[in-house]
Structure 1
Amino acid sequence: MTTIDHHRADDLAALARRSHAVIRQHQHPSGAYPASPTFSAYRGYAWLRDGGFTAEGMSRYGDVASVDAFHDWVDRTLGARRDRLDEVLSLRSAGREVPGDLLLPTRFTLDGADGTDEWWDFQTDGYGTWLWSVVTHARRHGGDLRRWRRGIEVAVDFACAFWAEPCYDWWEEHDEQRHVSTLAAVVGGLEAVAEAGVLDEGRAARCREVASAARALVLAEGVADGHLTKWLGDNAVDGSLPACIVPFGLVEVGSPLARATLTAVASDLDADGGVHRFLADVFYGGGQWLLLSCFLGWNLAAQGERDGALRLLEWVAGQVTDDGEMPEQVGHDLLHPGSRDEWVERWGEVATPLLWSHGMYLVLADELGRLQEVPA
């Protein structure tokens, strides 16, 4: 059983309050959660992936109004693209090439428009992540998913049509590959919404069919040496792979494949509590990502290793700035230090705050019962 003194527990709870305040402070009036309010490459944009996990942290914290507003924003943003998606699906069904600029983007401006800056836009993980997030939030707080049905149907139709296509991964890299964490997000989202009672039977059946096919594909081509891999046909691991277990459920908690995957991620990427993205990562020198430490900790907690999960939570807490803000990554243990300066010159210092880091802290703190102070 995990034990922790009251002083440390209260510090962790105070940081949860601060994380909630940071997210609330920067939530746009539209409801969007900006990825980072000041970082040059992210400023003015919101991602479904980042926002979906940030919403999960806020939902666990109990800020229903904030999370409802975020899902309202996604619903409006995706719903406004119904006609565009129908055009895409019509072209696809006719066997014609779909122009890349017609595909739904991975990020949107805070008022829900397409961005004008070039980006690595074709990614399906955010659509699966948002479906999982909105269903989980509604279930937790008794919300009515019909409120977000239009956006849900767009996300479902897009994910079901393009789930098997190569696309950019969580890190906006390698669009020539099919990524295991991306496929897991699609599985998690489609399975969650298929059983939520908000879809017509045809869509629900299609969700189950696609989720089953995606899971089978990963198990056939996304496993090496007994663990999940970064992409199909590879043998490397990625710091996002724990999400394939919890929360997306591609692999069952405690199964041999799940345990081997967490062991491989920890062995290759966990450096004293800070988890790297992947061994070849050169972005800002390849630092340790707070949110990835939280994903690994979330999974350790789920399989009963609460001491290991607490170690990761405390590492994350130790990376906070004097203003109580959490960065995207820290550079204590860079994989490729010679690459850091070129990114600083290009985009400035590391994104701080990153709302996804704060959201994932709330998730792991909740898993370990650290959202509230310990009674005296």
Structure 2
Amino acid sequence: MPRNEPTQVTDGWDGGRSPGRRKAMRYAVPVAVAGVAAATIGLVPAFAGSGSPDLPKISAQDLIAKVAKSDVQQLSGTVRVSTDLGLPSLPGGAGGFGGAQGGGKGGDGASAAPQNKLMELASGAHTLRVAADGPEKQRVSIVDKAAEYSLVHNGNEVWAYDSGSNTAVHSTAPDAGRHGKQHRAPKDLPGGLKDATPQDLAKQALKAAGDTTSVTVDGTAKVAGRDAYQLLIKPKQAASTVGSIRVAVDAANGVPLKFTLTPKSGGAAAIDVGYTNVDFAKPAASTFAFTPPKGAKVVDGDKARAKTPRDHGKDLPSHKDVKGLKKDMGGLNVLGKGWTSIATIKGGGSGLPSGKDQGAGGDAGKFLDSIGEKVHGSFGSGRVFSTRLVNALITDHGTVYVGAVDKQALIDAANAAK
């Protein structure tokens, strides 16, 4: 049986997508990858194991098609999770419900809010147990040393449970009660919990296949005890901070088993997603059954979501304030294409405080100077805040430029837009 050899994707190959769809995908994917890296998850190395299995030769085009055609809807397994973006560890419980499932005070269920768990997944190492049985049944559990957090979707019911606080939030799934319509996973789940598997991240990255991207098949591997091909995705644009994305694809069914994003700067992976074990048999029905433990505090998520802003306090901005803020920000715009796309938000004329400012503002300015690099250009001046993957330029006029690009690309974009 011949060994698999690297195969280069021809520029512009898109798996049969229309020109309009190709263009949209090429603009969207790098921004999506940056968003995932900056605000959501990375998974710790799913150990590939020893040896490279002998598999039939396959082209990159055929391997991408195999992933696209894969329709596996039943599985269970363990995912190892870790993120190294060069950011400080984020404390658990940061943020709040955002009005979706309750407030954030007084034991009202905030500890069980999916949005809060997203913050925990933004850095460090984690273990997830996942299970799925079609579009109506999914379960994700984050296993910690001292506690476990579970998110369970079963038909028209959604439960979020935090064992640490013994708090559960119960909600009705979208489309519940609509005759003839299939239940779907809740739309308001944060990306870090909804997309916490290799296949979700891989499908986003594969949409980038086009003239800004090199895609090859780079050998084989054993992942979670299964034979897999390794798909290597590399941006061609020099300004991108993404070095490469490697996706291990199950040779039998096309399911991505491992996703690794390495920054151009080198070192450890910024995002590494993989199964340590996986089973494609139908999970037991009991996997998706949930009953709050005795003594648990149960919060009605539907009622909490239905509350008016007045119920949440008087400190929320008024409709007039929000409208004014949107006007000041000038809206979101995307410059460039492919992996060097830069999202911009126009400021309202006042940027971050300077170290030269006096009083409290001066203290804030000195702190910002210590964590952000001062830069200058024909646009004026500002600060660049950097991670291993995503960089952001905030000008002294308050305009924000952010993307998975290097510092000079942000300065060039600001100069061109002045």
User: Larger C-alpha radius of gyration, 1 or 2?
Assistant: 2
Normalising to structure 1: TM-score of the pair?
A: 0.26
Considering fraction of residues, name the structure with more strand.
Answer: 2
Normalising to structure 2: TM-score of the pair?
A: 0.24
